[in-house]
Amino acid sequence: IEEAGFTPASRIAAIGVSKILQIGARAAAMKKDGLPVIILGAGEPDFDTPDTIKAAAKAAIDRGDTKYTALDGTPELKKAIAEKFRRENNVDYALDEITVATGAKQILFNAFMATVNPGDEVIIPTPYWTSYSDIVEICGGVPVLIPCDAEAGFRLKAEQLEKAITPKTRWVLLNSPSNPSGAAYSETDYRPLLDVLLNHPHVWLMVDDMYEHIVYDGFRFVTPVAIEPRLKSRTLTINGVSKAYAMTGWRIGYAGGPKALIKAMAVIQSQATSCPSSVSQAASVEALNGPQDFLKERQASFKHRRDLVVSALNAIPGLACRTPEGAFYTFSGCAGVIGKVTPKGKRIEADSDFTDYLLEDAHVAVVPGSAFGLSPYFRISYATSEAELTEALKRIADACAKLV
């Protein structure tokens, strides 16, 4: 930017590109140079988009659905979303309480952009998905990060929430199942938090349910508005098709919330991207309305891989991994390797030194806990083949054994 003669917009430039994308780019460059790098960094299912969904997109193109659509979602997609909320979540959203955007990331961006003034506080439990705090900062808000470690099940407690609320708090952001920890809130976990919010009418609740379809061991997913309808008038319920339907590149996210907020979010969208892709919207109608049986199969495949990764990690001295309830990530503690020295004589002072060591010496790309606001941990995305996972975990075990 400076080379081009501009003065950088420093507040935004300082935030930089998502740390997960940075690590992915570094690992991809090493791979291009011929190094046998295994990348366990990306939060992306390794399945293909189901054929029925692809067929719906092709039909949309043939039908001529290639023009601008209604600004924040076609009526057909909003109807499919309303039905999905009713059928799967037991929540009623009218069509004017629903908005569609170019991914759940843009939903978050629209919502914060429409509501956060400079100095407004947003409570975010850590570890959190990296974009949460960055988006809040881009909007001039103040992320208030509350540490929730493995011992706490990576879940926020009511006392912590109560203590963090100030007159400047505008939002609390909860994500279940979580990226990066895989931890999920049951109805019992949510209840005390919702009780705290009932006592603070100026605080709004944003919930990110992106991983609702990827849960294990009979865990019952529930969204807060279904538990506490009195919070519906100040809750934004976010979801999308990226993870459940293996549609990360189609870029469709959606949310249900109060009419005035939904309208304000559409204003932001109108000045940013206009409508989301017409073809992806048509495909998403099929995703939400069409056959859902593959979800169970994919869930079973992820569970198999979760078990493989968790048991391999827990067999490595120095690491400790809590069994996640959902999503396709493990967030393993690595306190036992801090202070150790690598064969090249480098002391591991922080989780990012450990993940650098794994990338450089073992050629395994994982993301340090510091990228998600909680150390010392590291995240593995296990949405990759069992053969690659097995090889990567063997390399991690060998690398740990070489530390002194």
Mind giving me the DSSP string for 52-77? HHHHHHHHHHHHT--S---TT--HHH
205's CB contacts (< 8 A; 6+ apart) are: 171, 172, 174, 194, 197, 224, 231, 234, 235, 236
In angstroms, the CA 80 to CA 91 distance is: 13
* Angstrom distance (rounded) from CA 138 to CA 252: 22
Provide the minimum distance between the beta carbon of 43 and ligand PLP in the complex, in angstroms, as a whole number.
4
Residues near ligand PLP, by CB under 6 A: 43, 103-105, 129, 175, 179, 208, 210, 240, 242, 248, 253
| Beta bridge mates, 238 | 208, 255
- Cis bond leading into 177, ω under 30°? yes
- The answer to whether 32 and 236 have CB atoms below 8 angstroms apart is no
Q: Quick one: 257 or 400, whose CB is closer to ligand PLP?
A: 257
SS3 226: helix
Q: 381: burial class by Cβ within 10 Å (0-12, 13-18, 19+)?
A: buried
Distance, in Å, from the CA atom of 312 to the CA atom of 319, rounded to the nearest integer, reads: 10
Nearest to 225 by CA among 55, 334, 91, 386: 91
> Residue 321 and residue 181: Cα distance in Å, rounded?
10
Q: In angstroms, rounded to a whole number, what is the distance separating the alpha carbons of residues 122 and 11?
A: 18
3-state secondary structure of 17: coil
In angstroms, the first-to-last Cα distance of the chain is 44
